[in-house]
Chains A and B, each alone.
Chain A
Amino acid sequence: MSKPFLSLQNLTKRFQAPKGGEALTVFENVNLGIEKGEFVCIIGHSGCGKSTILNILAGLDEPTEGAVIMNGKEVSGPSLDRGIVFQNYSLLPWLSALKNVTFAVQARYKSWSKKQVHDHSMKYLEMVGLAGGAELRKPSQLSGGMRQRVSIARAFAIQPELLLLDEPFGALDALTRGSIQDELIRIWSGSDQTVFMITHDVDEAILLADRILLMTNGPYARVAESVQVDIPRPRERANIIHHSDYYDIRNHLVEFLATRSKALAGKQEEGTPSEPSIVRFGAHGVVSDPKDNRKPATSPVE
């Protein structure tokens, strides 16, 4: 078995309890592999540690146990190899949209001339539809959608090996979200970017992802299932809902969030497989991972 591009090995995060109490285990023994160029979404209820996982991938946080290996090297500390888009945009408000991108490009490609940096930044700003003067505005003079576009342009412009998106569309209205999703998928398909994205939106996940990871509720959260989305690309919001698998996947996800995320929650006994069971929809209905010795993922929940 070849090593995946990115692997999370026995990742555990505990928060030290105030004096004497028991430490709070947010998640335990998370094992995952992500291939190069894959678009992976992760879904789970608040507090299950999705953002903590993302921050550990980014290098902004450290796991209590376990490790993240990217390209054969252990992740320690933040790096330009991993770009991040946060829900709150994280633009520097005293810089123009363009400067917010150029400083990042400059940091990534130190030997480039001013003109190269400018042209490269403009290329990505144009990709997200910011040009013709809007790039000279400060973030406070841009709408939420525009700001998130700048943030996405910045993340893509540094051409990281792994792109981390922390609920990037959470604060946007549905229409804006739709159009930025389209832009995101367009830019992504033109690159070989690996993407790891947190979302709360089931439809968004199906539209964007190759694979959707489902997390149980915390504490002792874990990635319980990995749902393969085999709907062919390019996918379009209008057509995807007519695909035969769409509602099977959607129902599966909703059902997980509604009931199974709770039912499967809690501390696992020793010896339970720590890899998520693979769920795949297709012509033959549900195929569960053969090595999963628990009840089939789609069996009715008591």
Chain B
Amino acid sequence: MLASLNARALVLSLVLLAVFLGLWEAASPKQQLAGELTEYELLMGGAEPKAAVPPPSDVIAKAWEELSNPFYDAGPNDKGIGIQIGYSLYRVLSGYFLAAAIAIPVGFLIGMSPLMYKALDPFIQVLRPISPLAWMPLALFVIQDSQASAIFVIFICSIWPMLINTAFGVAGVRKDWVNVARTHELGPLKTAWIVILPAAAPTILTGMRISIGIAWLVIVAAEMLVGGTGIGYYVWNEWNNLDLTSVVFSILMIGVVGMLLDTAFAYCARLVQYQE
């Protein structure tokens, strides 16, 4: 029954996709033939068709072209999609893991110590709602490097969900399990390693999954600002080139990469999941 449900869902998805693409294709205005031009258009030279969102057939052709050679590098403004995504992933992952390296230990501290929780809470509450891009000017001024500033923006936006979820998960470890550690005379490090970390791991992983999603959202905007390389810059550059086909294609690529990142973290989350 499950297999048949999956199969039916797949068929339905494909049908929806086909209908959507068909409607989109039909709605895209066709290029007019020269013979049908109005007198005004003839006077104006007639050659300039009205710019429009490209039909899916163009996007698919573009995707094929780009994906068959994703890693070419023909100068600063003409790099393959693979290279652009590679730059974005590099920034996202370095900022993200930097954030994890700080958020998880600090989250442990906050979760285990009510004093630290109360002391740090006001800072977290003020810093958390700041849009990551608002840090950009300050980052550019202090760091003096647009690459590093983009990484910093990713760092600052991915730290909060991880920090809060780690603290929440650690503070919520069942007292019974902590008592098991106490009655077996486990030291603080062993307690953290044998009991608290595995107990809080599903909550921590949820925080990490939320963070990677936010980081991927933010990197596009950040790269539009800092420029140079990356998928966000690519979108903006193609917009400036008025190449809407490439814009639509890169939007789709952003979605696909985001989905892959999320799937990877969902898989990790399943590994640490336990059933009570």
Contact = CB atoms under 8 A, between A and B. Distances in A.
Contacts of B179: 60, 78, 84, 90
A104 B183 CA distance: 9
Contact of B185 (A60, A80, A90, A95): A80
Interface string B175-203: 01101101111100010001100110100
A92 B183 contact: no
Nearest to A86: B176
B177 A104 contact: no
Interface string B154-194: 00000000000000000000001101101111100010001
Interface string A204-238: 00000000000000000000000000000000000
B275 interface: yes
A104 B274 contact: no
A49 to B, nearest CB: 18
B253 to A, nearest CB: 37
A194 B18 CA distance: 75
A108 B179 CA distance: 16
A138 B275 contact: yes
A103 B194 contact: yes
Given A103-B194, A140-B275, A92 B184 contact: no
Of A58, A104, A107, the most chain B CB neighbours within 10 A belong to A107
B109 to A, nearest CB: 23
Contacts of B180: 90, 92
Nearest to A108: B184
A90 B182 contact: no
Given A88-B176, A138-B274, A138-B275, A94 B198 contact: yes
A86 B180 CA distance: 10
A152 to B, nearest CB: 14
Interface in A81-114: 82-84, 86, 88, 90, 92-95, 103-104, 107-108
A80 B184 contact: yes
Nearest to B274: A94
Interface in A35-52: none
Nearest to B186: A107
B112 to A, nearest CB: 17
Given A93-B274, A93-B275, A79 B185 contact: yes
A117 interface: no
A158 interface: yes
Given A92-B177, A92-B195, A78 B183 contact: yes
A140 B276 contact: yes
Given A94-B198, A138-B274, A107 B184 contact: yes
A138 B198 CA distance: 14
Interface in A107-155: 107-108, 138, 140
Nearest to A141: B275
A79 B179 CA distance: 11
A240 to B, nearest CB: 32
Interface of A: 58-60, 77-80, 82-84, 86, 88, 90, 92-95, 103-104, 107-108, 138, 140, 158
Interface of B: 176-177, 179-180, 182-186, 190, 194-195, 198-199, 201, 272, 274-276
CB-based closest 6 A-B pairs = A140-B275, A94-B274, A78-B183, A78-B182, A107-B184, A94-B198
Given A90-B177, A90-B180, A92-B199, 5 more contacts: A78-B185, A80-B185, A93-B274, A104-B184, A107-B185
